[in-house]
Structures are given as structure tokens and as C-alpha cells.
Amino acid sequence: MALTIVILRLLVCILAFPMFLLNFLGLWNWICKKWFPHFMQRFTVIYNEQMASKKRELFSNLQDFVGPSGKLSLLEVGCGTGANFKFYPPGCRVTCVDPNPNFEKFLIKSVAENKHLQLERFVVAAGENMLQVADGSVDVVVCTLVLCSVESQERLLQEVRRVLRPGGAFYFLEHVAAESSTWIYFWQQILHPSWYLLFDGCHLTRESWKALERAGFSKLKLQHFWAPLSWELVRPHICGYAIK
């Protein structure tokens, strides 16, 4: 089986040779940073349509974590185009962090369409290094379809715990590796190298629940589920929240 995976992976990489060549020449990252926000703008519309009920369920108790100010202070890591904004409660004050500055114009459009919340600021930074966000300054951190692509899940989760106030919550919704005995996992392994380049560092085979279990939260509520998505490769999901 391992040899079959290697051979099929090589064939896929040959088909994707122009992309690997551009990456070797140092050009692919620039191209990807430019086109990826446009792709995500279209993808998140479809994703939200298919995942709307799950997102509403996930974010239904956000108001439980409102702090002393009386308004929910929320930090979204890897905010992208602002696809989660419509699911946040009225009066929510949102700070957005994303390493790709090309998302900003899409974010501004999303804010204009979601007048029930207030955008505090957009910070261009990686989730593993959010120095512009003060310790214990937010009630809630949200992270959706982000743990798959960060360089270090452990450092990201350390930063999440740092910026959360005591008793604050971290909400997550992520695609993950399928069970190792399934055909989905077989194809995830084959397509992973090409997928990683094509989709800006996204890992198909990450077992993100393990990093969450090791992160040191006082409480973790985590659910594995099969998302109602068209793309079979990313249907294995986890969601839930953790309390500092």
C-alpha cells in the first residue's frame, strides 16, 4: 500500500509540475497569496451554504462568554474574507488576524454586509505570533479552517490561551485527516503534496484534535463529524470549543 501511495503521489506531482516549478523558482508563494483570497471568496459562499446549520449550532452560545464590558470581544484568527461574521451576535466587537494582507478588501466588504457587528481592527500577522493583541484581552477566539495551514498548531494554541481572558473560550471548526483505514485517507495521502502548494499551505492529513487535547485548556468539548460537503477529501471535520 505504501508503494502504491508513493507511485500515485509521484504521478500527481508530475501532472502538477508547472506549480512545483514556480515554487522552486520562488514565484508560487507570491502568486498564491494573490489568487487565494479570490478563491476563498467563492469557496466560503458554498461552504457557508452547506455548513450553515453546523455554524449556527457551534456559535449559538457565544453570548455566554460576554465579559465585564457587556459586549462580546472576539478575535478571529485566519479571518480570511469574514465568512463567519453573519453567525456572530449583534454588538460583537471583532478583531481580525490574518497573515495575508490581500484579504483586507474582502474583509471590508463583509463588514459592510454585516452591520450588526463592529470591526475593531485588522492585524496582518500569523496566528503563532499575535504580539499586537494584548494578554487576556478578548472573551472569545474563533478559528475555522485554519489549524490545517498554520506552521505550528502548538504555538498558535499557546497564543490563543495567552490572549484569552480567564474563563474565555476558543471556538474551532476544522477539516482533519480521515480514519487511516478509509479510502478517503488513502487519497488524502496521495494528493497532500500538491494540495499543500495549491491551497496555500493546507494540510489534508492533520490530526488537529490531538493538538487541542494537548493544549492545556481547562475544558474541551470536541466533536468529530462528517461534513455535508461536495469535496469528499475534506468531509472529515471536528468542531467545538475549549475554555481557558
Q: Where are the domains of the chain?
A: 1-243
The DSSP code sequence of the chain is -HHHHHHHHHHHHHHTHHHHHHHHTT-HHHHHHHHHHHHHHHHHHHHHHHHHHHHHHHTTTGGGG--TTSS-EEEEET-TTTTTGGGSPTT-EEEEEES-GGGHHHHHHHHHH-TTSEEEEEEE--TT--TTSPTT-EEEEEEES-TTT-S-HHHHHHHHHHHEEEEEEEEEEEE-PPPTTSHHHHHHHHHHHHHHHHTTS--SS--HHHHHHHS--SEEEEEEEE---S-GGG-EEEEEEEE-
pLDDT of residue 3: 83
pLDDT of residue 69: 82
pLDDT of residue 230: 87
CA angle, 34 then 35 then 37, to 5°: 90
pLDDT of residue 6: 84
pLDDT of residue 121: 92
Model confidence, pTM: 0.94
Residue 183 grid coordinates: 479510502
Residue 45 CB partners (closer than 8 Å, separation 6+):
none
1-243 is classed in which CATH architecture?
3-Layer(aba) Sandwich (3.40)
Mean pLDDT, 10 residues at a time, over the chain (244 residues)? 84 89 89 88 90 95 90 94 94 94 90 92 93 94 96 96 96 96 93 93 95 96 94 95 96
pLDDT of residue 68: 84
